[in-house]
Structures are given as structure tokens and as C-alpha cells.
Amino acid sequence: MSDIINILPDSVANQIAAGEVVDRPASAVKELLENSMDAGATQIDLILKDAGRTLVQVIDNGCGMSDSDARLCFERHATSKIHRADDLFAIRTMGFRGEALASIAAIAQVELRTRLHDAELGTAIVIEGSRIASQQPQACPPGTSLAVKNLFFNVPARRNFLKKDSVELSHIEEVFRRITLVHCDLGFTLQHNGKLLYDLKPGSMLQRIAQLYGNFYKERFFPIEEETDLVRIKGFVGKPEYARKTRGEQYLFVNGRFIKHPALSAAVERAYDDLLPDRSHPSYFIALQVDPSRIDINIHPNKTEVRFVDDHALFAILRSAAKKALGQFTLATELSFDTPPEFNIPPAPKGYVPQQPRISYNPDYNPFHATPSQTRMKLDDLKNLTAPTDLNETPTSDLRPPASPHACLQLQSRYIITTLSSGLAVIDQQRALERILFDRLTPRPDLRAPTSQTLLFPVNCQFSAADAELMAELLPDLCDYGFALEAVGQTTFVATATPPDVKEADLQPFFEQMLADYKASTLQRHADRSQSLCASLARQMAVRASTALSQEEMQQLVADLFACPMADTTPGGKRIITIVNPEELLK
């Protein structure tokens, strides 16, 4: 029997390693940006074409490399950061494994140009699929320029798994934000298909947040700062009134590296106990400095997962620091020792006798004799009502609309209780409205264009560069749904008309949450763009329209719901109606 075990060629081994290190263009961007920072660069430029499929190029003014280093850096496990095993517990750089460039070179066409600051000439290297095609001296600026072309050109199966350009670009922008937010002392630019998306100047973290998300973000955060023997904490926590339904802008950094740590994230959110409504999440940008010997970052090639020796102590310190920031600055902004003018009551004239207050009432009023004009329900309509026993099981066959409008009861401004032929119906008002609005917004040839209301004064809405680009992409669709929007500048839009269900004061948070929902739906469910936008708009309109309703309004909502083709579930698949049949009521 012959031997069957053999050593893989380096090119194959590198492609296997690339599957862990580089799974999409955003992964290559992360590795290249980290290399430039480790090289001591103060200015880093990122250039993209076709969301990184065609080109990912990073240009920096760092230290550069010699001829031999330029060739050796593409070898697997070639690194200048690690010399012995003990160095793994004293990591102060972004990269250290020596896998990134070898993995990238195995699945792309790479062009490297680099020069030391004190050298007259630099080096140019061309690599295709781990094979060095050429290396020669070349005149180039000091620093390094590395271009990754035609990513996955020799791994077509992996290339076919890439999403559309807008999705891949959103992943790259997220990586770009994770790196630039904490490295505020460096300058960065990001270009995509010849268009400058970001031009970030060195400054403070708050200035960097404003550069990435817009100047209006400066007023949305409280500073957080704490220093102990174990950890040094600096950053910003969001004001409770700007909390969102999604975990969007939540960034934790340790020693200049973005991390995902459920326990530390929970510590920040615990600081908001009793300050936020249910299912709302705060925003925060928090940087921690910890002794490198007390953490382990060598867990996963992406280096976003870390382990702490003192994780319980860190949890308590971070939670206390966040609560301190929220309490200190919230109290400072709300306390005022100036007497309000309405309490400056002048003294009464001498001899003034105040008159006794008079109470007017109807002596013939009988609360047990309801009149037709009253919107309260009769006692006969309530005698058979009881709480539903199970809000999760509702046979679709029981959803038969009432033959005529029935009396309705509203519970906690959230649930509508009415009767159907099959029993007692408990309707989630907000979800019902979401379904109704979704069906109205969904383009259908038999529906006319949605109505809109003109605003008395135009409303300016500001967005981050990424959200502004998405808003510009969705602008024609939003106008079809009743919005009148116009772009003024790169990140500002002016609204002059909205659908009747959208309030003027809610426009900024409305659009922000709509964009967050839209991005989540397109990334997770890969839904059609129009369907995703309709679902996002309907969800936001329903949230802001959930309020107390009159008897006529409740009956109209029930009638509109049963007119929908799918009255029992929301566009996201959540149940709207629960039926409690007579047998359950008898129990």
C-alpha cells in the first residue's frame, strides 16, 4: 500500500489560510489599513473600484520597506512583530501573525511599491496568485502603496459568493469606521469609483465622530472618562433620547483595536437601566487601555474576539463609569437655579379677598345611561371580554372579518379588542398599522400615487456620508411614497412634504431608523429593494402613529386590516391577531 499523506504546496496552503483571513474585500481593507498604521503612517489613503472587486489600494507615508523586506513580507508567517512566544502577550501593534499579505497574494493580483525615507529608489513587485511575476527598482514616494486587483480571480467559487456592490461597500465602510474612530490622530481618505466619500483630518474622537456621522452628532453624546489601576476609559456614551431599536453605533475598542465582547457591551447597556424604553439600545464609542499582558487577542485571525484576565472587574468598572457619565451630565443639563417667570407671583393688594372657586356640573347626568355621542363602550359589550390565554397561536382559518362594525376596546394604547364570528380578537394596533401602511406603500398598478402634506417650513435632515449616499440612492423611491426631498450639499437633505402619517418633528429620527432597518433587511433577508424600503417606511410610520384611538378610528383600523391580503402577520412575519375562542373564554 502506497503512502497517501503529502505536504500541500505553499500556494494551496495560502489559499486555505485566505479562507479565514480574507472572505470579502472588507477583510483585505482591514489588513492593509492595519499594516499602514503599524508602519507609522500619519496619512493613509484608501482607493476602491467596484466595492473592492476590481481594486483595493492603500497608500501611506509610513516607514516603507527595503528590497528584501518587500519580497519577504509575502511569505507566510513572515512578521516583524513577533520574535518569541512571550511576545504574544505583549502585543501593541495591530497585526502580528504574518498571514495577511500571503493570504491576499494567493487570491489576487498584487502590485507593491515601497521606498524607505532615506533611500533614493524604491522597489516594485508584481504578484499573481502567490507567484512573483516581477521585482525591480522604481522611483516612488517614501512609504508604501499596495494595490490588490481582481480579488478572488483564481477562486471563482468564492467570488460568486460576494454580494452586490452596495452591500460590499457598506462592509468596507464599517471596517473603515472601526479603524478611523479610535485612531483619531491619523488622517484618512476613502475614494470609491473616483468619488471622495471621506476626508478625515487628525483631531479628537468627538471631531472624528462628527466627520464620519455629521456635525449634529456632537450634541448626542456625553463624555465618559475613568482611570484605575486596571483600565483607562475614554470615549462617549449616547444620550438616552437618541437610543435606537437597532444596535448600530456601538463601538468598543481595546488598545486601539475594535472588539466584540458581549459582557462589556452588556455593562454599558446596564448603565441605561430605567432610562430607555423596551428594546431600545444606546449608542457609544468607548476606548479602553489595558495592560497587554492581561488580555489575549490571539484567538481568531480577525482579532475582534479577545479574552480578559479581569473580565468581572472590567464589567463593574465600565458599568459604573457609564452610569457616572449619564448621571453627571444629565443632571447638569437639567438643573437650573433661575426661578421660572411663571412663579414670580406679585403680592395681592391690601384688603383683597379672593373669591371662592365655583364648580359647574350637570345634575341630570347619569353615567349608566350612555348617549350615542359618547365613544365609551356599553357595559353589554364588555361583559364577555377576558384576557387572551395564548398570544402566539392563532389559526389563520379563524380570521374571518366581522359582517358589520363591532364595538372595540383599546388596551394600553397598544391592543384593540373586538369580536369576530370565531371568538374574541386581540389585535396588536402597531403591527396592524404596519401591515396596512405596507400594503398602501407597496407599488401596485391599481393604486394611485400616495398623498402628501406640504410642510409649513422646510426641515433640514443631516446624515453621515454613508447614509447620505444611501439616501440619494433611495431618493426617487421616497418621492414616489409621498416625500418631497432635495439634496443640498453632500450630507444634507431638505424635506418640503411628507406623507400624512409622518410628523414634521420626527423626520430626522424617522429617516435614521428607516435607513437602519433598510440596511438590516437587505443584509439579512436579501429582500427586494422596493420591498425592503416599503417595510422600513411602514414600520417607522406605525411606531410614531401608535396612540389612543376613538371608537370610530378603531373600527376603521380593523376594517382596513381585514382588507389586507395577509391580515394576520406583519411584513417581517410577526403575528398581528390572536383569537380567543368561546371554549377558552368559558375556562
**So what's the pLDDT on residue 288?**
93
Q: Is the pTM of this model over 0.75?
A: no
User: Of the candidates 305, 302, 299, 312, which has an alpha carbon nearest to the alpha carbon of residue 88?
Assistant: 299
In 3D, which of 281, 260, 261, 262 has the Cα closest to residue 272?
281
The highest-confidence range among 201-210, 359-368, 400-409, 556-565, by mean pLDDT, is 201-210
Query: CA-based angle 530:538:498, to the nearest 5?
Result: 90
The candidate with the shortest Cα–Cα distance to 34, out of 213, 212, 255, is 255
Q: Any bridge partners for residue 570, and if so which?
A: none
Helices 165-182 and 25-38 cross at an angle (nearest 10°) of: 20
**Mean pLDDT, range 568-586, rounded to an integer:** 83
What pLDDT is attached to residue 140? 92
pLDDT of 300 strictly over 70:
no
Report which residue type is found at 11. Answer: S
Average pLDDT of the chain? 79
Burial class (CB in 10 A: 0-12, 13-18, 19+), 100: buried
pLDDT score at 374: 42
Compare 315 and 330 and report the one with higher pLDDT: 315
SS3 for 302?
A: coil
Asked if the model's pLDDT at residue 48 lies above 80, the reply is yes
DSSP state of 261: -
CA atoms within 13 Å, Cβ hemisphere of 202? 7
List the beta strands (DSSP E) in 444-534. Answer: 453-462, 484-487, 492-498
Nearest to 282 by CA among 224, 220, 343: 220
Element (H, E) at 426: strand 423-428
User: Residue 265 in 3-state DSSP?
Assistant: helix
Task: State the sign of the Cα–Cα–Cα–Cα dihedral 417, 418, 419, 420.
Answer: negative
Domains, the chain, ordered by start: 10-203 (3.30.565.10), 207-333 (3.30.230.10), 379-435+549-586 (3.30.1540.20), 448-537 (3.30.1370.100)
pLDDT digits (tens, 9 = 90+) for 485-511: 888 877 888 988 888 767 766 788 888
How far is residue 70's CA from residue 439's CA, in Å, rounded to a whole number? 59
Q: Are strands 43-49 and 187-192 parallel, antiparallel or unpaired?
A: parallel
Among the ranges given (36-50, 163-177, 326-340, 557-571), the one the predictor scored with the smallest mean pLDDT: 326-340
User: β-strands 415-420, 409-411: how paired?
Assistant: antiparallel
Q: Are 146 and 112 in contact (CB under 8 A)?
A: yes
What residues pair up with 308 in beta bridges, in sequence order? 295
Do strands 453-462 and 484-487 pair parallel, antiparallel, or not at all (unpaired)? unpaired
Three-state SS for 447? coil
Return the higher-pLDDT residue of 38 and 389.
38
Query: To the nearest 10°, the Cα dihedral for 487, 491, 497, 499?
Result: 120
Q: What is the pLDDT of residue 88?
A: 52
The residue type found at 167 is: V
Backbone angles phi, psi at 230, to 5 degrees: -95, -35
Residue 379 pLDDT more than 50? no
What is d(CA 457, CA 469) in angstroms, rounded to the nearest whole number? Answer: 25
pLDDT of residue 334: 44
C-alpha cell of residue 202: 487628525
Sheet holding 231-238, edge to edge: 221-227, 231-238, 284-290, 250-254, 257-259
Q: How far apart are CA 98 and CA 77, in angstroms?
A: 4
Query: How many other CB atoms are found less than 10 A from the CB of residue 47?
Result: 17
Task: Check pLDDT > 60 for residue 284.
Answer: yes
Give the span between the Cα atoms of 298 and 97, in whole angstroms: 9
User: Taking a C-beta distance cutoff of 8 angstroms, is the pair 58, 203 a contact?
Assistant: no
Beta strands in 91-244 (DSSP E): 109-115, 122-128, 131-138, 143-149, 187-192, 195-200, 221-227, 231-238
The answer to whether residue 327 scores a pLDDT higher than 90 is no
Task: Give residue 312's Cα distance to chain centre.
Answer: 27
Does the pLDDT at position 574 exceed 80?
A: yes
Instruction: Please provide the distance, in angstroms rounded to a whole number, between the alpha carbons at the two ends of the chain.
Output: 75
Burial (0-12, 13-18, 19+ Cβ within 10 Å), 49:
middle
